[in-house]
Amino acid sequence: MAGYDFDLYIIGAGSGGVRASRIAAQAGVKVGICEDSRVGGTCVIRGCVPKKLLVYGSHFAEDFEDAAGYGWTVPEPSFDWSTLIANKDLEIDRLNLIYKKLLADSGVVLHEARGRLLDAHTLDVGGRKITAERIVIATGGHPVKPPIAGAEFAITSNEAFHLPELPPRIVVVGGGYIAVEFAGIFNGLGAEVTQVIRRDLVLRGFDEEVRTALQHELIKKGIIIRNHTEIVTIEKGEGFLRCRTAAGEAIEADAVMYATGRVPNTRNLGLHEVGVTLNKAGAVAVDEWSQTTVPNIYAIGDVTDRIALTPVAIMEGHYLANTLFHGRPMKPDHSNVPSAVFSQPPVATVGLTEEQARRTYGEVDIYATNFRPMKYTLSGRHQHSFMKLVVDARSDRVVGAHMVGDDAAEIIQGLAIAIKAGATKHQFDATVGIHPTAAEEFVTMRTKRAPHHAKAAE
């Protein structure tokens, strides 16, 4: 590997890039990484970590209300947005320093500057030429706003974390996981939330019953959902914004947040010039080993547009480093990847939806339950949980598990192991439940849904 400044150089110090660099460095090779923002990437700095902190903060209004049913007298609570944001920022600063220390302790050289390719082995990093035998693109993605008049008045999730004050009224545009999460955050903190979606239900691509169950709960919490609606212009008034819809209606608010999609960060990296191919989505095209069309250049994480989840980027980075430097060839497995939506109530899922399973296996068995959690029997809250198992009828293997309700992510994480291991419905049934819990429902559902209730495959 002589003749190069680095054996491995990574553009982008997010979760995937940091993991790849640290694992590679453990093999004793010289590793460098650059970042033009803050070390930690989308998840740590402007994504899942600060978002989850805001989700926690937004739950307290209901917790105070529920306490009365359990005999607690709570004085009229008040909320201060600036305190929450300041404390969130302190935690992000702490994590940023931890990530920097992890790199330093691993012997990885960090350049806090923008990197771009000059040729297959040469980079420009903040005006300095650096050479590397192998290069990894781990630049992630960013949110986008549509090209409509007045889009400059709207914010995205990036700016939502730094608003100077909580908007009394906000329009959240989009029906994906980021949109429903922020709709829940703003609603929980006391804002009047209108969520605008182009289709009939939120969370396109999720199980249809999950989508229906979540939307029903969001409406019960006071979120106004305007489905089959498209905003065509945003106008700035005296201290407010006015959204005009394709149907000619007007929606007024103090802020408008777009959460209608993210795109890979591939611009101005020199990818095209050196022969790295992008796919139709504008993401870096890679093979099953994360290798691009240039043999010594690889790509991991959201910039590849495979599964845009932090743990997936970490897996891809870890496996790539093992493959290249530890003599342990490992292909990332993107099947049965569990995921969660930190909506209110949260959603979690692993495996196939009912619709996907019917297309894949033909005959499937469905087990589902909808109930009011024990916690709310004394508080009087009318929130329900929904759980569902999708089973391949021929093999009895559980191929999908879905939940809407409190602690969904914590529960599905455990089930994901069973489904990854190929567990059958019989093995679920043979497992003793922990009582009283919501999770026990997944091992006590015995009644198969009648065939005439089964949905036809899409």
Tell me what pLDDT residue 451 has: 74
Report how far apart, in Å, the C-alpha atoms of 99 and of each of 15, 94, 96 are.
Answer: 9, 9, 5
Tell me what pLDDT residue 2 has: 60
Query: What confidence tens digit (pLDDT) does each residue in 131-156 have?
Result: 999 999 999 999 999 999 999 999 99
Query: Is 453 a member of any domain?
Result: no
Catalytic residue, candidates 162, 318, 382, 435: 435
Are 136 and 280 within one domain? Answer: yes
Are 256 and 272 within one domain? Answer: no
Are 276 and 389 within one domain? Answer: no
Query: Is 330 a member of any domain?
Result: no
What CATH number has the domain bearing residue 234? Answer: 3.50.50.60
Q: How many CB atoms lie within 10 A of CB 62?
A: 16
The residues, ordered by sequence, that sit 6+ positions from 26 with a Cβ below 8 Å of its Cβ are: 106, 326
The answer, yes or no, to whether residue 130 has pLDDT greater than 60, is: yes
pLDDT > 90 in the chain, percent: 97
In contact, 311 and 338? CB cutoff 8 Å:
no
The answer, yes or no, to whether residue 325 has pLDDT greater than 60, is: yes
Query: What confidence tens digit (pLDDT) does each residue in 10-29 have?
Result: 999 999 999 999 999 999 99
In contact, 50 and 88? CB cutoff 8 Å:
yes
In contact, 335 and 317? CB cutoff 8 Å:
no
Residue 128: its H or E element: strand 128-137
CA Rg, the chain, in Å? 24
Are 36 and 130 within one domain? Answer: yes
Residue 255: its H or E element: strand 255-258
Residue 402 known to be catalytic: no
Are 408 and 385 within one domain? Answer: yes
Are 158 and 98 within one domain? Answer: no
Are 162 and 243 within one domain? Answer: yes
pLDDT > 70 in the chain, percent: 98
The residues, ordered by sequence, that sit 6+ positions from 309 with a Cβ below 8 Å of its Cβ are: 337, 339
- When divided into structural domains, the chain yields a total of 3
Query: Is 303 a member of any domain?
Result: yes
Domain that holds residue 374: 339-448
Tokens representing 349 are 């899922």
